Structure 1
Amino acid sequence: MKKLLLFVMLCVAFTSCGPEIYQASSFKEESKNHKVVAIMPFDVLIEARKLPKGVTAEMLQEQQRDYGYGLQSDVYGYFLKQMSKDRYTVTFQDVHKTNAILADAGITYEDLRKSSKDEICQLLGVDAIVSGNATMSKPMSDGAAIAVGLLVGAWGPTNTVNTTITIHEGAKGDLMWKYDYVASGSIGSSRQSLSNALMRNSSKKFPYKSQKS
Structure 2
Amino acid sequence: MKKFYFSAALVLCLSLNSCGPQIYQAASFSQVKQNHKVLAIMPFDVTIESRKLPKGVTAEMMQDQQRDYGYGMQNDVYGYFLREMSKNRYSVSFQDVAKTNALLSEAGITYDDLKLASKEKICQILGVDAVVSGNAVMSKPMSDGAAVAVGLLVGAWGPTNSVNTSITIHEAQAGDLMWKYDYEASGSVFSSRQSLSNALMKNSSKKFPYKKS
TM-score, normalising length: structure 1: 0.90
Cα distance, 1:18 vs structure 2: 0.4
CA contact (8 A) 2:54 2:147 kept: no
47-56 vs 105-114, greater mean Cα deviation:
47-56
Which moved further from structure 2: 152-161 or 194-203? 152-161
What SS does the corresponding residue of 2:30 show, helix, strand or coil?
Answer: helix
Percent identity between the aligned chains?
65
Larger helix proportion, structure 1 or 2?
Answer: 1
SS of residue paired to 1:200: helix
- What is the alpha-carbon distance in structure 1 between the residues aligned to residue 136 and residue 90 of structure 2? 25
Partner of residue 135, structure 1: 137
Q: Out of 98, 103, 108, which is 1:106 matched to?
A: 108
Query: Any unmatched runs of 5+ in structure 2?
Result: none
1-structure distance, mates of 2:155, 2:104: 39
Cα drift, residue 201 of structure 1: 0.5
Opposite residue 16 of structure 1, the aligned amino acid is S
Aligned residue number for residue 71 of structure 1: 73
The structure with the greater share of residues assigned to strand is 2
User: What corresponds to 1:53 in structure 2?
Assistant: 55
Q: Counterpart amino acid of 1:144?
A: S
> Where does residue 144 of structure 1 map in the other structure?
143
Partner of 1:10: 11
Task: Give 1:171 shift.
Answer: 0.3
* Whole-angstrom CA distance in 2 between matches of 1:201 and 1:153: 30
C-alpha distance in structure 2 between counterparts of 1:194 and 1:79, whole Å = 15
Count of residues in Structure 1 that have an aligned counterpart in Structure 2: 207
Q: 1:8: how far off?
A: 6.7
- What are structure 1's unaligned runs of at least 5 residues? none
Root-mean-square deviation over aligned CA pairs: 2.1
Q: Which moved more, 1:6-15 or 1:146-155?
A: 146-155
Three-state SS of the structure 2 residue aligned to 1:193 is helix
